[in-house]
Amino acid sequence: MFEKVRAWSERNMPTRDTFERVGWLRPIAHRILLPELWRFNRRSVPRGVALGVLVGVLIPVAQTIFAALLALPARANVPVAALTTFITNPLTTPPLWLAAYWLGSRMLHLDAVDAVSRSQAMGWVQWIVSTAGPATALGLLLIAVTGAIVGYGLTAILWRGWVAHKWRQRALARNLRGI
């Protein structure tokens, strides 16, 4: 399973060459193609995950492009930020928006639609504009910020664990060689 995900991400992840070929990006290509934005290190990868989750939840279209462009000032890893936006997809978006509406309506203390409003066509429009829209927007904001914080923290912890594991392996290999 991990190999399939890795192979898919390698095929679909934007590369430096991809950005070099985009004509309208030429004025800022020197910023996009900075090597530190494409290296995987302990600081840029968690930033990329947090940025990808934030953009993936808050921006409904062209998420990968926005994540890649916002990775520049955030000094986040561009491929990780772009790949993490796929947290929202056609399968996860409807439950996410329902959860956002539920969370937002609880935070705003909104009541359910009354029966009189449901019977009128304008009642639905009014409900969407005055109740559902703000509740969903607040819920999406809360989910995005919480997801970004959790993603950053979890990635930083996993990165640290992976590095500690590598150091233990190196020490064990040195001890086995008698160095």
What parts of the chain have a pLDDT lower than 70? 1-2, 13-14, 16, 30, 111-130, 179
How many domains does one find in the chain? 1
**pLDDT value of residue 121:** 60
Is the full-model pTM beyond 0.95? no
Using CA atoms in the order 72, 74, 80, 86, what is the torsion angle rounded to 10 degrees?
-100
* 114-142 per-residue burial string, b: 16 or more CB within 10 A, e: under 16: eeeeeeeeeeeeebeeebbeebbebbbbb
**pLDDT value of residue 115:** 43
In a domain, 150, yes or no: yes
In a domain, 36, yes or no: yes
Its domain, for residue 73, covers 2-92+141-177
**pLDDT value of residue 179:** 63
**pLDDT value of residue 23:** 75
The DSSP output letter for 27 is: G
pLDDT digits (tens, 9 = 90+) for 116-129: 445 566 666 666 66
In a domain, 127, yes or no: no
In a domain, 41, yes or no: yes
In a domain, 131, yes or no: no
